[in-house]
Amino acid sequence: MIKVEGLYHSYSNDENYAVKNANFEIPKGEIFGFLGPSGAGKSTTQGILTGLLQLQKGNVNVAGYDVKNISQKMFNKIGMSFEQSNVYSKLTAKENLDFYRKLFDGQTREPADLLKLVGLDGKENVRAGEFSKGMKHRLTFARSMINNPELWFLDEPTTGLDPAIASEIKDIIRKENNNGVTVFLTTHNMFIADELCNRVAFIVDGEIKLIDSPKNLKLQYGEQLVDVEFRKNGTVVKETFSTIKEEEKQRLQKVILDYEIQSMHTKEATLEEIFIKVTGRGLV
């Protein structure tokens, strides 16, 4: 569904790349998670894939179309939910969707159904300008489904939503995926990614550090982590060690020998911890 080779992008048209040598492929039907801290280059990559940003360098094929010279027809197959909600404030929720559906060629979905799906039923005739941030975000999300996309780009679909609604959004994504929709999910929420994604890419400073399934990552890193609290120079220090990395094993031994241990637990690593381990970076 998506094939990216040697993708670079620089906003300043120089060597200062927001995305550096990205290579990945997404088969049909997959939920692919693009994970990284804010500013990592996720939205930039998504922007190039959806033609919002001009492709500068590399080969990108999306839904069978070469992104170098985009055909408008491509957008019949694509849905895009934006990180920053963008709906017409002077139009009602329903009017927003009614207008948007006219901009596609194929079968489109009923605005009323979509609004119900994202919990905006009863708000059909309220102008989007009067919506809360979360409601606008849900409207933006609903709109991205209107053309029955085969390939669905979601940029931070749950960010800023309260947990109950985030969970509903997650269910909708899973349901659409079960119907065969390929999903490109950009997020820095590791729980959502963990639950939804078939595979994830870790991206930091414009570079993809790793691509694998959450399952493999946990097999590789999970249950082999030890949380240790120990007293060092009078203060309590908390550190997590891998029991498979040789260097960390030796450090763990040294800690046990040298300091007074307060507590010690083995545990399953979260995707977030794995991310930190792999990239050496946090997610915010």
CB of 56 to ligand ADP, least distance (A): 13
- Please list every residue from 44 through 103 that binds ligand ADP, using CB under 6 A: 44
C-alpha distances (whole Å) from 279 to each of 15, 35, 95, 194 are 22, 11, 45, 17
Question: What DSSP line would sit under 8-33, residue for residue?
Answer: EE-TTSSS--SEEEEEEEE-TT-EEE
199 binds, among ligand ADP, other proteins, Mg ion, none (CB under 5 to 8 A by kind): none
Residue 41: which of other proteins, ligand ADP, Mg ion, none does it interact with, CB under 5 to 8 A by kind? ligand ADP
Give 19's Cβ-side CA count (13 Å radius). Answer: 26
Query: Can you tell me which of 6, 27, 28, 39 binds ligand ADP, judged by CB under 6 A?
Result: 39
Q: Shortest gap between Cβ of 156 and ligand ADP (angstroms)? A: 8
Dihedral through CA 9, CA 15, CA 18, CA 23, nearest 10? Answer: 60
Which of these ranges, 93-101, 174-182, 236-244, 258-266, lies near other proteins under the rule CB under 8 A? 93-101
Please identify, using beta-carbon distances, which residue of 90 and 232 lies nearer to other proteins. 90
Measured from the CB of residue 126, what is the shortest distance to other proteins in angstroms?
A: 14
Rounded Cα distance, 61 and 70, in Å: 10
Give CA–CA dist 150/148, Å, rounded: 7
Q: Which is nearer to ligand ADP, 140 or 242 (CB)?
A: 140
Q: CA-CA distance, 181 to 88, in Å (whole number)?
A: 27
DSSP state of 270: P
Residue 103 near other proteins by CB under 8 A: yes
Phi-psi region of 234 (alpha: psi -120 to 50; beta: other; left: phi over 0): left
| Smaller CB separation from Mg ion, 48 or 255 | 48
Site stretch for ligand ADP (CB under 6 A), options 31-39, 56-64, 177-185, 222-230: 31-39
Between the alpha carbon of residue 202 and those of residues 62, 101, 162, 245, 272, the distances in Å are 21, 34, 25, 20, 10
By CB under 8 A, tell whether 133 contacts other proteins. no
Chain residues in the site for Mg ion (CB under 5 A): 42-43, 83
Q: Which is nearer to other proteins, 54 or 263 (CB)?
A: 54
Hey, what are 176's tokens?
Answer: 């659409």
CB of 15 within 8 A of CB of 40?
no
Binding site for ligand ADP (CB under 6 A): 11, 18, 36, 38-44
Binding site for other proteins (CB under 8 A): 50-52, 54, 72-73, 75-76, 78, 80, 82, 84, 86-91, 95, 99-100, 102-105, 140, 143
